[in-house]
Each structure stands twice: as structure tokens, then as C-alpha cells.
Amino acid sequence: MTRSATTEIRLDLGEVVLQGTVRGTGPTVLLLHAGGERRGVWAPVAEVLAGHGLRTVAFDLRGHGDSTGRATTLRALARDVVEMIGREPAPIVLVGASVGGLAAIAALADPAVAARVSGLVLVDVVPDPAPARVRSWLDFRGLGGRYTQLVEDVLGSGSALLATAGALDMPILVVHGGRDSPIGETDLRRLRAANRRVTVARVPAAGHLVARDAPEELARLVWAHIVGAEADAG
């Protein structure tokens, strides 16, 4: 099978410069990676979506990969996501893994930004997870000290993020890794109670980093979510 062509792009925001990759043509899907990852993790997912006639855009978040700056607050990451969304043709589907998903939610607190987005996919993340569970998960994997400032900022933003997610008028899919996940059933139930448009899909063979563990299944779920959102809008 012939692989789809890619284009490298650069987003200069003054404070930081973000490096990204565009693949395919069609409606835009913005892919936001997890903390400690980089945009290349989305390549297998983007390839499948390109085959469905979608255009994917994946940036290295600030402080990651080829992008500059430091990732110390969720607000800074969210500002970057707002800029990404503003430069793409609407409507856009947002797919965010872990902190990328939380940055997406924070960006959508602005109604003008949310109006440009037709659907949201949260990859093994919810807006207000149990802090003790998250800290324990990170510490067990030796990650607790790597992004301490960002982690504590995120955990302190939980109630605001949940309120934002609860008010979003768009279909929201949570893709939950079946193993090695920092979120639990109680977290998922709280989100579904906050917003009736939330659905949950489970990938039993995947851990927290679903894009690495099960990229084809994740791409299938994203595609199905997009088709469902289009039908809902129609």
C-alpha cells in the first residue's frame, strides 16, 4: 500500500515555535500527544485516517520533540491548542491523549474555539481524575518528578476542566486503555454524569498510550466517532 504524503509545518507563536506534520487531505483532525511523547506517535493512526479521506495535523507540544519552550502549565498548552485550532479550517475534530486531551478541554472553554470543533476524542484521560491515583501511577513508573509542575497544575485544574467538559455541546468519545491506566471506572462515571454526550470505548489490549499499543484500533474508533458526529449534525 502506498503511504500518504506528509508535509512538515512550523507554527511560530513568538514565545514558542511548534513543529508539526500534516498528512492526507480532507476534513481536519488535530492530534495532540501525551506528555513525554512526540508527534511521531500518531503516524500509524494518521495513515489509517488518511485512507478514510481525512487530513491530520500533529504537532510536538511545547517542550516536547522538535518544539521549543517548556511544558509547565496547562494554560500554556491550552493557548497553543487555541492557536492550532484557529489556523485550521473548521469544523475540526480534536483527538487528545493524556495531557493533550486535557489541553484540548481547556482550550474549548472559549465558546468561539468550541464553535470550530465538531467532536472530541479523549484517549485514556478524563478531566478530573482522582489525584492520588494519578500520582501513584506516575510514581510507580518513575515519572513523578519529570513533569511535577505540570502534573500539579493539571490536578489543581480538575474541577474547572470537568465543568468545561460538562458544558460542551459536541459528541465526546473516551477511549479507555484496558490495562495500565491512571483512570478508573469512577472517573469515567463522573464524566458521563456531567455530559450525556460522552461515550466510552475500551481497548482491552492497550495501556495508557493507546496510540502506541493499538494504533489501528484507535484509528477505527476515531473514524467511527467522526462518522457518528456527522450523522448527528445532519
Q: pLDDT, tens digit, for every residue of 144-165?
A: 677 889 999 999 999 999 999 9
Q: How many CB atoms lie within 10 A of CB 139?
A: 11
Tell whether the model's pLDDT for residue 234 goes beyond 70: no
Mean pLDDT (the chain) is 94
Q: Supply the pLDDT for residue 140.
A: 84
Radius of gyration of the chain (CA): 16
Q: Provide the pLDDT confidence category of residue 3 given band limits of 50, 70 and 90.
A: confident
Q: Which of 233, 234, 204 is nearest to 221 (CA)?
A: 204
Q: Supply the pLDDT for residue 139.
A: 87
Q: Supply the pLDDT for residue 141.
A: 82
Q: Which of 205, 131, 127, 195 is nearest to 166 (CA)?
A: 195
Tell whether the model's pLDDT for residue 232 goes beyond 90: no
What's the first-to-final CA gap in the chain, in angstroms?
A: 33
Q: Which of 134, 108, 109 is nearest to 187 (CA)?
A: 134
3-state class of 95 per DSSP? Answer: strand
- List of E strands, the chain: 6-12, 17-23, 28-32, 55-59, 92-97, 117-123, 172-177, 198-203
Q: Which residues contact 15 (CB under 8 A, 6 or more apart)?
A: 69
pLDDT higher for 234 or 135?
135
Q: Supply the pLDDT for residue 94.
A: 98
Please give the Cα distance from 150 to 156 (Å, whole number): 10
Q: Supply the pLDDT for residue 56.
A: 98
Tell whether the model's pLDDT for residue 143 goes beyond 80: no
74-132: pLDDT as tens digits: 999 999 999 999 999 999 999 999 999 999 999 999 999 999 999 999 999 999 998 99
- List of E strands, 88-184: 92-97, 117-123, 172-177
Q: How many residues does the chain have?
A: 234
C-alpha count within 13 angstroms, C-beta hemisphere, residue 203: 27
Amino acid at the residue 212: R
Tell whether the model's pLDDT for residue 1 goes beyond 60: no
215-229: pLDDT as tens digits: 999 999 999 999 987
Tell whether the model's pLDDT for residue 2 goes beyond 70: no
Q: Supply the pLDDT for residue 178.
A: 84
Please give the Cα distance from 52 to 210 (Å, whole number): 20
